Amino acid sequence: MITIIKYILFTVPFMGSIYIPVAAQEIEPQQEVNVDDLGNVSDEFQELFFEALTKKGIENYEKAIDALEKCIAIDPKVEVLYFELGKNYLALKQYELAKVNFEKALEDNPNNRFILEQLFEVHFALHDYKASIEVVSQLVGFDTMYREQLVNLYFLDQRYDDALQTLDEVVAEYGEDQYRRTLRKRITLKLDNPTTQIARLENKIKAAPKNEQPYVNLIYLYSQTNQNRKAFEVAKALLAQIPTSEVAHLALYKFYLDDNQTDLAVASMKIALQSSTMDSDSKYKVLNDFIIFVGRNPQFEKQLIEVTEAFSKTDSSGKIFNDIGNFYYEKGERELALNYYERGLKDAVNDIGLIQRTLELQIELKRFEKAKFGSELALELYPTQPIIYLLNAQALIALKAYDEAIETLETGLDYILDNVVIESQFYTMMSKAYQALGDASKAKEFEQKATQLQNKS
């Protein structure tokens, strides 16, 4: 079977050694070779050949190569021998020998998809991106999804104009997604001179003014190259041609905010946030920009609530409710902050930081029953988090459940690792619980332990 390539990992030079998983075309398994594929060969040849397949099957590649070499000595004209040799050398990571044999196998089968796919794997392993591009260009004829692989290879070969043009073709056929948006950003950041790309996109718009994607790509290109006014003009042109375009508002709201046209900005943000086609990351950016704006212009707080509600109707909103909660927390409006934190938890139960902030505010605002219930649920999810045990104990003490609080604190102590601050807080809380139970001796013992730790910190 031919190995399935699921990812290509490439280094992004301008960000250091960061590896980006790039979705690659899966290689389909070739049918196993049978005796009819060998042609008219001797019994000895057949035995050696199938011995080679057997050895390869148990990953004894050296023995498989020996058997194949003996086959070649008997009859060097059987084409499949070189393909099999290449696969064994590839498995051994002897890439140059694998390449020689795959190229020999291609001499009489220049359009064999299976050989081309293996040859691509070899070229890529050798970091020979030009040769990889040549092979993958042939593979596009078998499956157009290989064009996405071409984008990656053009990027690696520093052919950024070709990469963007090919990416546009991929998006036109298969649509946009988060990976392709990220890839576009990385390629665009590498452009020294975007003139060629701008001219190409402008021509595409002239040729097909009702096609939304070239406008979107041109807006993005202008924005990434700090030509914001031009991006704004393209966004307005897009809306003029396609009044129902939602993505145009991703560009328009920002300019409206900068120009203090708040009503227009809010209208654009509502459209963007209620869109069923825009990705969540773009929506978060819209709302985060508005939070920053309202921080400087508090008179627009009502509009912030409006756009938040619009967003929450269409998307999982844990992150943005957290951001809104932080906004109100920093303003000292604890009740509003708690309201948004609690709403955010519905979609972010795996956010331990948000859980902690919510419990702390519930205790601060004397919502002890809520804090008790919430911390118990949190402990089911995070049974090794000391801070949750501490908050649970605080709620229990406030509810006069002193024995339960002590039990919780004793359990939580086992999960404290080299943190004298939180350990001292545990002992302080235990002292309070014992004091409430009327056990002055125990209360003093734990108070002293807390003091000793505080002196160490």
Q: What is the pLDDT of residue 141?
A: 92
Contact 162, 154 (CB under 8 A): yes
CATH at residue 415: 1.25.40.10
Q: What is the mean pLDDT of residues 442-454?
A: 91
**Residue 315 located in a structural domain:** yes
Contact 293, 257 (CB under 8 A): yes
153/139 Cα distance (integer angstroms) = 13
Query: Are residues 387 and 445 located together in one domain of the fold?
Result: yes
Query: Are residues 295 and 368 located together in one domain of the fold?
Result: no
Residue 20 confidence (pLDDT) above 60: no
Q: What is the mean pLDDT of residues 199-222?
A: 89
Residue with tokens 């409206």: 256
pLDDT, tens only, 221-237: 888 788 888 989 999 99
Query: Are residues 415 and 375 located together in one domain of the fold?
Result: yes
3-state helix, strand, coil in the chain (%, to 5): 70, 0, 25
Residue 278 confidence (pLDDT) above 90: no
Query: Are residues 287 and 368 located together in one domain of the fold?
Result: no
Confidence of residue 18 (pLDDT cuts 50, 70, 90): very low
Residue 443 confidence (pLDDT) above 60: yes
Q: What is the pLDDT of residue 305?
A: 82
What would the two tokens of residue 249 be?
């508002």
Confidence of residue 390 (pLDDT cuts 50, 70, 90): very high
**Residue 39 located in a structural domain:** no
Confidence of residue 279 (pLDDT cuts 50, 70, 90): confident
Structural domain range at position 200: 193-242
Q: What is the pLDDT of residue 7?
A: 32
324/335 Cα distance (integer angstroms) = 12
**Residue 269 located in a structural domain:** yes
**Residue 281 located in a structural domain:** yes
**Residue 265 located in a structural domain:** yes
Q: What is the mean pLDDT of residues 158-180?
A: 89
Q: What is the mean pLDDT of residues 254-266?
A: 86
Residues sharing a CB contact under 8 Å with residue 290, sequence separation 6 or more, in sequence order: 257, 265, 266, 269, 303, 304, 307
Q: E strand or H helix at 11, and its extent?
A: strand 7-11
Q: What is the pLDDT of residue 26?
A: 40
176 or 86, which is more confident? 86
* Total domains present in the chain: 3
Query: Are residues 307 and 384 located together in one domain of the fold?
Result: no
Q: What is the pLDDT of residue 9?
A: 32
CA-CA-CA-CA torsion sign (218, 221, 222, 223): positive
75/247 Cα distance (integer angstroms) = 63
Opening angle at CA 14, ends 12 and 20, nearest 5: 20
Opening angle at CA 171, ends 165 and 174, nearest 5: 140
Query: Are residues 343 and 411 located together in one domain of the fold?
Result: no
Given 299, 316, 348, the domain boundary residue is: 348
Query: Are residues 311 and 256 located together in one domain of the fold?
Result: yes
Cα first-last separation, the chain: 61
Query: Are residues 383 and 419 located together in one domain of the fold?
Result: yes
Chain centre to alpha carbon of residue 181: 11
Average pLDDT score, the chain: 84
Q: What is the mean pLDDT of residues 421-438?
A: 94
Over pLDDT 70: what percentage of the chain? 89
CATH at residue 270: 1.25.40
255/49 Cα distance (integer angstroms) = 69
Q: Is 92 exposed, middle or buried (0-12, 13-18, 19+ CB in 10 A)?
A: middle
Residue 46 confidence (pLDDT) above 60: yes
Q: What is the pLDDT of residue 33?
A: 56
Query: Are residues 253 and 344 located together in one domain of the fold?
Result: yes
Q: E strand or H helix at 135, and its extent?
A: helix 129-139
Tell me which of 43-57, 129-143, 283-297, 403-417 is least confident.
283-297
Tell me which of 161-165, 189-193, 254-258 is least confident.
189-193
pLDDT, tens only, 289-298: 888 888 888 8
What would the two tokens of residue 96 be?
């140059």
Residues sharing a CB contact under 8 Å with residue 269, sequence separation 6 or more, in sequence order: 249, 253, 286, 287, 290, 307, 310
Q: What is the pLDDT of residue 154?
A: 94
pTM, two decimal places:
0.58
Q: What is the pLDDT of residue 11?
A: 30
Q: What is the pLDDT of residue 434?
A: 94
Query: Are residues 367 and 334 located together in one domain of the fold?
Result: no
Q: What is the pLDDT of residue 271?
A: 85
**Residue 305 located in a structural domain:** yes
Contact 90, 118 (CB under 8 A): yes
User: DSSP alpha helices (H): ranges in 195-333?
Assistant: 195-207, 212-224, 228-241, 248-258, 262-273, 280-296, 301-312, 318-330
Confidence of residue 269 (pLDDT cuts 50, 70, 90): confident
Tell me which of 146-150, 178-182, 354-358 is least confident.
178-182
Given 223, 242, 261, the domain boundary residue is: 242
Residue 202 confidence (pLDDT) above 70: yes
- Provide the Cα torsion 426, 432, 438, 442; round to 10°: 30
Confidence of residue 309 (pLDDT cuts 50, 70, 90): confident
Contact 86, 73 (CB under 8 A): no
Secondary structure, 3-state, 376-392: HHHHHHCCCCHHHHHHH
Residue 433 confidence (pLDDT) above 60: yes
Tell me which residue of 269, 291, 294, 293 sits closest to 282, measured CA to CA.
Answer: 269
Tell me which residue of 136, 212, 134 sits closest to 172, measured CA to CA.
Answer: 212
Residue 6 confidence (pLDDT) above 50: no
Query: Are residues 294 and 343 located together in one domain of the fold?
Result: yes
Q: What is the pLDDT of residue 402?
A: 95
Over pLDDT 90: what percentage of the chain? 47
Given 177, 212, 242, the domain boundary residue is: 242
**Residue 77 located in a structural domain:** no
**Residue 438 located in a structural domain:** yes
Residue 119 confidence (pLDDT) above 80: yes
- What is the three-class DSSP state of 21? strand
Query: Are residues 367 and 438 located together in one domain of the fold?
Result: yes
Q: What is the mean pLDDT of residues 358-376?
A: 95
